[in-house]
Amino acid sequence: MHFQTEALHAGYEKDTQSTMAVPIYMSTAYEFRDVEHAADLFALKELGNIYTRLNNPTTDVFEKRFAALEGGAAALATASGMSAIFYAIANAAEAGDNIVCASQLYGGSLTLFSHSLKRFGIEARYFDVQDPQSLEALIDDKTKVIFFETLTNPSIDVANIAAITAIANKYDILSVVDNTVATPALCQPFNHGVDIVVHSASKYTTGQGLAIGGIMVERKGLVEKLRGNMRYAHFNEPDASYHGLVYVDVPLPVYTLRARISLLRDLGAVSSPFNSWLFIQGLETLSLRMKEHSHNALRLAEFLENHPKVAVVNYPGLPSNQNYENAQRYFANGQSSGLLSFVVSDFEQAKAIVDATKLFSLVVNIGDSKSIITHPASTTHQQLSPDELDACGVPAGLIRLSAGLENVADLIADLKQALEA
């Protein structure tokens, strides 16, 4: 089926009530038919509902639908985008291991990798996403994940996905990509060799800033990369916490399976059924909204590129942008999502422009139907030093915009008066 059809139908089989809308199953637990039925569920001899920390019928539809849209085998919904990223890493790495990451990342990801994971004994090593060949020198026998974003936030770079995954595959290392900004409506990372995709569903998936959530999707056939791969011995050896289960021997998508029955079971960062229902509503219009977000962002970028107070505009839909070629290669019809940024002279001028806007809302979020403006150096990336800000492509004078669904003429007029105030 085509993308928009799956966005409306995938993963939902009507129950006895035959509701057109997916029901919200607000239940913590589920009754078993008898003791043997309960035992079979816990032993994975039969699949079904056990407890909402592990699975839920509403969340199951969200997971199946999102996996279908990404072209993946299975998905795991989580309580936030950050928990999806953490599970994707923790499912592969342990103390003494390292991960290789693009330096151009969302500020929360940088903090997780550089500080919190460090306390777990996992080292983060960084490469420039504009120079994917540089990551090869950072790999050793303890490298478990190569992590990057398809469209970086807030530096607005487009990764050369095929070049990065070719290196990951050369060394039999899992590649994990955050596809939040591009969304599956614009970019299909599995078609370019990626193993695991993660998202913050709080952004374009919900589309209206209604709920916090995340999701992790694994590609079809990933088990073959894990089977016999001693980088990931824990997938090939009996799991003592689950009665000796060997994951690569289970006829199910193994990466999400282990994350569900190990990490979700033990750490509990689970999506609420109501949030999963909200995300399902958002998926139904995702492809339609992304076209409009992309259109508005391009018009804003064209205006900013010609304004004398703007030094640099970062938007891959502009032919002048260094990421234009990658955007044309990896994004549907060259549409480049609703996120853009621009640079003015300094920190103080950036703050003054942000404060002068009237239609744009000063909010640390993206992907909303309403347009958003952010000054990363004073908010999302405040914890980084000046050198770290420059390294991740976020100079002090950078302003990030998330183009909403308003009439773009009104958005341009607001930016114009703010720049000239």
Return the structure tokens found at 358.
């009237």
Summarised one tens digit per residue, pLDDT across range 30-42 is: 999 999 999 999 8
* Strand bridging mode 339-343 / 312-314: antiparallel
Q: How far apart are CA 257 and CA 250, in angstroms?
A: 9
> Does residue 44 surpass a pLDDT of 90?
no
* CB 180 within 8 Å of CB 66: no
The predicted structure's pLDDT at residue 74: 98
Q: How far apart are CA 375 and CA 399, in angstroms?
A: 5
Mean pLDDT of 248-260: 96
Summarised one tens digit per residue, pLDDT across range 199-238 is: 999 999 999 999 999 999 999 999 999 999 999 999 999 9
Torsion, CA 81, CA 83, CA 89, CA 95, rounded to 10: 150
Q: How far apart are CA 173 and CA 234, in angstroms?
A: 14
In CATH terms, the superfamily for domain 287-419 is Aspartate Aminotransferase, domain 1 (3.90.1150.10)
CA angle 49, 54, 56 (to 5 degrees): 50
Q: How far apart are CA 130 and CA 156, in angstroms?
A: 11
Residue 63: how many other CB atoms lie within 10 Å: 26
217 DSSP β-pair partners: 75, 197
Summarised one tens digit per residue, pLDDT across range 164-200 is: 999 999 999 999 999 999 999 999 999 999 999 999 9
Question: Could you identify the residue written with the tokens 């018009």?
Answer: 299
Summarised one tens digit per residue, pLDDT across range 134-164 is: 999 999 999 999 999 999 998 899 999 999 9
> Does residue 11 surpass a pLDDT of 90?
yes
* Strand bridging mode 143-149 / 174-178: parallel
* CB 340 within 8 Å of CB 303: no
CATH 3.40.50.150 fits 3-281, yes or no: no
φ, ψ for residue 260, nearest 5 deg: -75, -55
Return the structure tokens found at 405.
């669904």
Q: How far apart are CA 168 and CA 195, in angstroms?
A: 9
Summarised one tens digit per residue, pLDDT across range 332-381 is: 999 999 999 999 998 899 999 999 999 999 998 999 999 999 998 888 77
Confidence of residue 23 (pLDDT cuts 50, 70, 90): very high
The predicted structure's pLDDT at residue 407: 98
Return the domain boundaries, the chain.
Answer: 3-281, 287-419
